[in-house]
Structure 1
Amino acid sequence: MSMFGYPLVNVLGACLIITSMMVVLARTGRAAACLYSLQSLVLVGVLASLGAVTGSGELYTWSATAFATKVVLVPAILLFTLKKIGGEVPVDLPPKLNPMKSVALVAVEVFVCFVAVSGIDLPTAAAVKPTLAVSLAHFFIGLTCIVIQRSIFKQIFGYCLMENGSHVTLALLAPQAPELVEIGVATDAIFAVVILAVLVARMARYARTLNADDLCELKG
């Protein structure tokens, strides 16, 4: 199983990078929410595959929790926020970088993470170094999403990508971690998304803009 399982984990890790780029490059908030749900489904596959390879029953619980929270609940919260905002203010603002520059920047980040991981010698991550590099790259991809997006609604997805990356890193390095750890990670993510969604909705209602450049000029 391990001969088949670890390559599968690494293939799914590559899919995480592809789907994260799709989230960053999505033209609309609705498309980004749907693509984030797709990426989270890939994350569920990574966790379940790791569970099968390592024999960790905890990871099966993690995958079920991730499905409920990341595939279903978080996208639903974001789509509800979009519906609540309605047409009051523009949500789908163009990013600060064009798609080609964004892809090039992400490629550099992934390369740097692969170089960094190549020097790590951990028994728990020896067979899944590509996926470990991907999980670390997710932090920088999420940060990139926050920096290049003008729409503060789309910036929420940057946080979500960073959180997905930390989720995978934890699963790779500590597959036997108790379910309580997963509950803590999932709960923090949901509360953070709810708070950010409420802030975005209030900004749309009172500031009448979701443009981060405009909001930087607010005083007090």
Structure 2
Amino acid sequence: MNKIKSSAIEALDNLKNGNTLLVGGFGLIGAPLTLIDALKEKEVRDLTVVSNNLGESGKGLGLILNQNKIKKVIGSYFTSNRDVGEKYQKGELAIQLLPQGTMAEALRAGGAGIGGFYTKTAVGTKLAEGKEQRVLDDETYIFEQSIKGDVAFIRAHKADELGNLTYYKTARNFNPLMATAAKYVIAEVDEIVPVGSLNAEEIVTPHLFVDSIVVAKKILTKEGVKTL
């Protein structure tokens, strides 16, 4: 099956109203900005978005937030976008806060078929309210449910034609975890290379997890060509 899509909007066919969407990135680093840009053009609503943050005001996932397509967000760091707080205060957005390590483990567990796990992180805080608690080895733990998505937008460096992925430094962040935890995975990459071109030791996400591949959009700036 040919996984390479001619456009980002074509790759979004599987995203439906009410879906849970996993989106990689830490701030705007490692965020699949070409796919997010295409999402602006798709008629979809009531999304639950799982991401470290919602971009910045008018940038990244901030664009989608301002289109009122996001019903709920699950993540760790939303203060980089003041629009998140404003929508929450107005009752237009539900927020579920998770510590970054907890979110990463919840995604890993979801991808591994594990229903949940116990952690000491957030014990004794408001984030633990309403969650199951258990004492293990004289320590109190809370239960966190795993996270799975209907669709994942991930950002990688290179893909071969089968969909094997490599990542670029810290732009890797949550992307490989999200690639395992969704039913349908769309990878945005800088470059697509022939099968056999990638060093097997450098492949982080095997092609089994990838359903569609899109080449990142490049724009011309004063400093030269820049990947979106």
TM-score of the superposed pair, with normalisation by structure 1: 0.25
Q: Which has the higher helix share?
A: 1
TM-score of the superposed pair, with normalisation by structure 2: 0.25
Which one scores higher on RCO, CA 8 angstroms, separation ≥ 6?
Answer: 1
